[in-house]
Amino acid sequence: MELSRAMADKRAIDRRSFSWRTVFFGFARSRRLNLRRLDDAEVLFLDWHHPWLFFLAVGTMIMSCADAFMTLQLLQHGMIEANPIMAAMLEQGTMAFAVSKITMTAVSIMILVFLAKTHFLKRVRTGLFLTVIFSSYACLICYEFVSLMAVL
């Protein structure tokens, strides 16, 4: 009798209540790695993403910061900004340039990671765009590094 009362009291606690413990526990031990049922084939948002997406997201953000720094260095040596949006932000000042560049990159990466399982035009997995952006930033960083070495 005492055991059944203890189990009833334990069940009375609502497991679905939200707290910061829920956030940390859910982040550390995400459970939804795959689809649960065939009816969930349209479910595109999972709790867990492949570590490769984390690498691409963090690497792209680091290269975006390096790009902003090297761009400002190259501008001091007479180069011009080829991106018209970023050129307009440069007219507002270097702080506006850096903040807008990093903010736009971060928001774009978050959207792409969130939609990583979807298919663009029902053909290309959206996560592939992160790989393309990462590779493009790597090429841009190499170009800026070579250009920076040439002017120094």
pLDDT value, residue 126: 83
Greater model confidence, 151 or 50: 151
131 token code pair: 């790989």
Query: Domain residues of the chain, as ranges?
Result: 2-151
Token output for 26? 């859910």
Among 43-57, 70-84, 131-145, name the one with the lowest average pLDDT. 43-57
pLDDT in tens, 88-146: 999 999 999 999 999 999 999 999 888 887 778 878 888 889 999 999 999 999 999 99
Q: What percent of the chain has pLDDT above 90?
A: 51
Distance CA 127, CA 116 (A): 4
